[in-house]
Structure 1
Amino acid sequence: MLKINLLRAALMQAMPELKASPKNLIMWVDRGKAVSRDTADFSFAFEFQLNVLLVEFAGDIAAFALAILIWLRTNQPDLFAMGADAFDFEVDILDNGKSDVQIRLQLRQNVEATITPGGVTATYLPEPDPLFPDDLPFGGLEEMPLLQSITVNGEDLPSWDAVDGG
């Protein structure tokens, strides 16, 4: 499904430690279903819970959450809306100063079915542009410098270069 691949790419881009250890990012789907969109063709939507697990994560969960929230702004804007529950999470604190962090996202991916003389073609549909009252650029990680400097509770987190040994 398209959204799974897009989120994986966004997290890899936002969190350099994942590029160094891509095996530490595990993703899977639970409770998936196909939902009829009640259209004249065979178009439908996938609704599913996407589980994102960071194994032995040494960073701050705020950095991980920020990367996901920016991704949601473009790819599932209803979860980014004011008052919406964007995701839920669990953290298993390990004895070596690291944590396993699991985030669960309730996603929907619309699929358009186009009937052609040769059969039916399925196409993943993009999300409609949300109307945000802010002046932030619309888009994701490629449009905003992210996770270079993050302050949590008044303390600057170490730069990613320091975290990954660069």
Structure 2
Amino acid sequence: MKKIDSLRAAIVAATPELAQQPARLRMWVDRGTVEARQTDSGSFSYAFRLNALIMELATDVSVISDAIIRWLRVNQPERLAPGNSAFTFDVDILDNRTVDVLIEVELTQCVQVAPKDGGGYTLTDVDEPNPLFDDALGLGGAAPVPPLSGIQLGGQDVEL
């Protein structure tokens, strides 16, 4: 599943000690389900809890949290909606310098199924649509938004 590899890369990129010793980051999936509909396409989605165990971490846990939140912003933006927990974690303090951290994040991954010429199917993990707008574009990719030239409040110009 594409999101697992992508999240691993984001955590490792934020944590140089894991880049040097990648075996200290272990990931596994549990509580997985498959959601499928009886449609012509045959496409389906996974919903699962991804567990990431980082052993003997000396980097501040906030660095890991920031990396995951930035990753969620693009790859699972609904986790950051009001009322949702982005992820859960447990920390085992080993000594004054190191901890073991278990991070659990609920993810979904859509899979597109397309028939191939001559038989068989192609399965493709579907990327999430980018939830972030380009600041230079208008809504829906329209012409660029003009710069703010003035504000009026109660019929009076407000100085910018």
Deviation at 1:85, TM superposition (A): 0.7
Partner of 1:97: 97
Equivalent residues of 2:15, 2:59 under 8 A apart: no
- The C-alpha deviation readout for 1:98-126, integer Å capped at 9, x for no partner, is 11001100000000101233211111101
Counterpart residue number, 1:151: none
Letter in 1 for 2:67: A
- Alpha-carbon distance in 2 for matches of 1:38, 1:18: 43
Distance (whole Å) between structure 1 residues aligned to residue 112 and residue 55 of structure 2: 35
- Name the TM-score, length of structure 1 as normaliser: 0.75
How many residue pairs get matched? 134
Q: Deviations over 1:18-65 (max 9, x none)?
A: 111111111010111211145322100011100011101112111110
Q: Which runs of 4+ in 1 moved over 6 A?
A: none
- Code of the residue aligned with 2:127 in structure 1: it is P
Bigger Rg over Cα = 2
Distance in 1 of aligned mates of 2:69 and 2:102: 15
What is the letter of the counterpart of residue 40 of structure 2? A
Give the conservation status (yes or no) of the 8 Å contact 2:26–2:54.
Answer: yes
Q: What RMSD in Å do the two structures reach over aligned CA positions?
A: 1.8
Deviations 1:115-142 (Å, cap 9, x if unpaired)?
233211111101022256x96xxxxxxx
| TM-score of the superposed pair, with normalisation by structure 2 | 0.77
**Contact 1:37/1:45 (<8 A) preserved:** no
* Higher RCO (CA 8 Å, separation ≥ 6 residues): 1
Counterpart of 2:3 in structure 1: which amino acid? K
Alignment identity in percent? 49
What are the residue-to-residue correspondences of 1:5-44 with 2, within 5 Å? 5-44=5-44
Query: What 5-or-longer segments of structure 1 have no aligned partner?
Result: 136-166
Structure 2 residue ranges without an equivalent (≥5)? 136-160
Counterpart-to-counterpart distance in 2, 1:67 and 1:19: 14
